[in-house]
Amino acid sequence: MHIPARYCTGYLGDIGMAPMPYPMDFNAWFQAYLSGHWFTFDARHNQPRIGRILMATGCDANDVAISTSFGLSRLTRFEVITEEIQAEPAGKRC
């Protein structure tokens, strides 16, 4: 179809949704370039989501690996917290 697209990796919290009962993890989605803009598509979730934290884009997951390790390694702690920031009213900027 010759539509430019890119693989995206990052985090997706529970902003705008009921809190999830399990820890947040990495997430992947894709973006397609249509009419001069990149649009986000996420086949993993069956409803619109907000609050994505984009870490990297590439052709595929190999391009943007979150981590690469060789030999013995042990993850002892990993925690990501996302919170929605309310927009400032117009005219209140410093």
pLDDT tens sequence across 49-79: 888 889 999 999 889 987 788 899 888 887 7
**pLDDT score recorded for residue 34:** 96
- The upper half-sphere exposure of residue 1, i.e. CA atoms within 13 Å in the direction of its Cβ, equals 6
The structure tokens 């996302």 sit at 82
**pLDDT score recorded for residue 14:** 80
**pLDDT score recorded for residue 87:** 78
Share of the chain above pLDDT 70, in %: 93
Beta bridge partners of 27: 10
Ramachandran area for residue 34 (φ above 0: left; ψ -120 to 50: alpha; else beta): beta
More confident residue, 22 or 1: 1
Q: What is the pTM of this model?
A: 0.73
**pLDDT score recorded for residue 93:** 61
Q: Could you say which DSSP state residue 56 is in?
A: E
